[in-house]
Structures are given as C-alpha cells and as structure tokens.
C-alpha cells in the first residue's frame, strides 16, 4: 500500500491537488527540468541527497578483540540484515569500547540504511532504533522535516539503477558519493507533510506487528523449552 501510494503521488504525479483531485490527471501544470531530464510539477524544487540529509558509513571493530564484543549493548547491523525493508531488531552487538575504537558511528532511530556492496548491494532498509553498522552500509538521515519516507522510497526505487552500475563480476560496489549525489525532485511542503502522515501510520502498524511477532516468538520458545525440560525431568526421574 505504501509503495503504491508513493508511485501514484511521485511517479505518476497524481498527488491530491488543492481540490483533492489527482494533480497530473486533472491538468496540473508540469514543467521540464533539464537536470532530471523529465517533467516535474510546477513549483517543485530539485536537490541532491547531500543537501537534504546527513550521510555516513559504518565500521567493524577488530574481531579478534573480545573486549569489543563481549557483553556488548550497542546494536550493530550487518549488510545482510538489509534484506528486510524494515529493521526492528538485531542479534549483533558491540561494546562502547568497540564503537570508540572503530569507524562505526551511531545512526539515530528512523535512519535510512543503504547496502553499498556485497550480496545486498542496493538494498534499502528503515532502521527503527539507534544502532551502528559495518562498513558495507551507509546511513542517510534526512535533515528536513517530513522527508523520511519520501527519501526512503526514492532511494529504494533506484535499486535496478544501482545494480547496472556494477563494476565487479558479481554485484555493484556503491560508493557513499553515489548516494550523496542522488538528484531528486522536492515536492512542496504540504504534499510532503500529507505523505509523511499517511505513510507514517502504515509503517507504525507494520513495526508494531513485527515487534508483536518477535514477542510472541520469544514466549513460544520459552514455553517449548519449559515443556521439554519438564518431560525430560519426568523421563529420567529415578525410580
């Protein structure tokens, strides 16, 4: 539903006009943009990702130093986890010492993560909690209000383009500069605000469902473990 709404509003440009009617289909004025090489709605601007968001990549603490990992409490995302479009949990953690002694940096909740190389190159995820990542991931943190979901879907729509940039035998290595220099149209503030409200409610429902599934899974595992322990105790009880 969220992806369809993005396509309808920002690919077909049939977002609601002042009368609530589809903009382009109702005769909304379109103007040619030379940099984008296509028409965009009148009154829209264009911008580079680096001008509307902060970007930085992650790092990996030295794996041979157990001080960087044992009893770690800082969530650490690897690029393989970006197969999921929304990240609500991880099993990987590093310590504060590991964070301070590597190039890893913390991304705030509601950051956009982009896999730059490896099997998941070009994949995009929404991070729902504070975490850091390995060096194969770039975080994009919009600095303009109501831009999170719009930027997320725009970068996600470039997956095929990222793959065609491949310079290796398997999959593309996307540089952070490639991400910073993505050029995109910027809708008017009222359209961004309306889109953010509609998509935000959908994604909050998805996130809540993920979290409930995780909670129920943990409860199930505890029940199974308790049941198995009880049965084994009964079987091996001395006669």
150, two tokens:
């719009």
Whether 187 is in a domain gets the answer: yes
176, two tokens:
């952070």
Model-level pTM? Answer: 0.85
Angle at 112 between CA 212 and CA 138, to 5 degrees: 125
Q: What are phi and psi of 58, to 5 degrees?
A: -100, -160
177, two tokens:
């500069």
Whether 81 is in a domain gets the answer: yes
Task: Indicate which CATH number applies to the domain containing 39.
Answer: 3.90.220.20
pLDDT digits (tens, 9 = 90+) for 51-97: 999 999 999 999 999 999 999 999 999 999 999 999 999 999 999 99
Distances (CA, A) of 38 to 7, 18, 169: 16, 23, 32
| 236: confidence class by pLDDT, cuts 50, 70, 90 | low
Whether 220 is in a domain gets the answer: no
131, two tokens:
């975490």
| Placement of tokens 């909050």 in the chain | 204
Whether 35 is in a domain gets the answer: yes
pLDDT digits (tens, 9 = 90+) for 123-176: 999 999 999 999 999 999 999 999 999 999 999 999 988 887 655 544 557 899
Whether 17 is in a domain gets the answer: yes
Whether 236 is in a domain gets the answer: no
Q: How far apart are CA 44 and CA 189, in angstroms?
A: 10
| 237: confidence class by pLDDT, cuts 50, 70, 90 | low
Give yes or no for a contact between 46 and 185, defined as CB atoms under 8 angstroms apart.
yes
pLDDT digits (tens, 9 = 90+) for 8-20: 999 999 999 999 9
Whether 188 is in a domain gets the answer: yes
Whether 168 is in a domain gets the answer: yes
Half-sphere CA count of 81, side-chain side, radius 13 A: 20
Q: How many domains does the chain have?
A: 1
Full domain range(s) for residue 203? 2-213
């Amino acid at each position: 539903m969220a992806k369809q709404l993005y396509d309808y509003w920002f690919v077909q440009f049939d977002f609601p006009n002042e009368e609530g009617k589809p903009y382009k289909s109702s005769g909304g004025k379109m103007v040619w943009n030379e940099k984008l090489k296509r028409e965009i709605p009148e009154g829209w601007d264009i911008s580079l990702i680096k001008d509307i968001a902060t970007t930085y990549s992650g790092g990996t603490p030295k794996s041979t130093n157990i001080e960087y990992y044992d009893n770690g409490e800082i969530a650490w995302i690897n690029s393989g986890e970006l197969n999921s479009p929304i990240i609500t949990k991880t099993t990987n953690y590093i310590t504060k010492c590991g964070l301070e002694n590597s190039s890893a940096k913390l991304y705030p909740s509601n950051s956009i993560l982009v896999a730059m190389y490896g099997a998941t190159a070009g994949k995009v995820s929404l991070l729902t909690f504070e975490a850091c990542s390995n060096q194969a991931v770039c975080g994009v943190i919009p600095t303009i209000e109501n831009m999170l979901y719009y930027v997320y879907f725009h970068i996600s729509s470039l997956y095929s383009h990222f793959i065609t940039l491949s310079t290796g035998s398997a999959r593309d290595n996307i540089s952070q500069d490639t991400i910073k220099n993505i050029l995109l149209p910027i809708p008017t503030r009222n359209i961004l605000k309306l889109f953010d409200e509609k998509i935000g409610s959908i994604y909050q429902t998805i996130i809540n469902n993920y979290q409930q599934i995780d909670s129920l899974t943990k409860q199930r595992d505890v029940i199974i473990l308790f049941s198995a322990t009880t049965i084994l105790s009964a079987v091996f009880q001395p006669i």
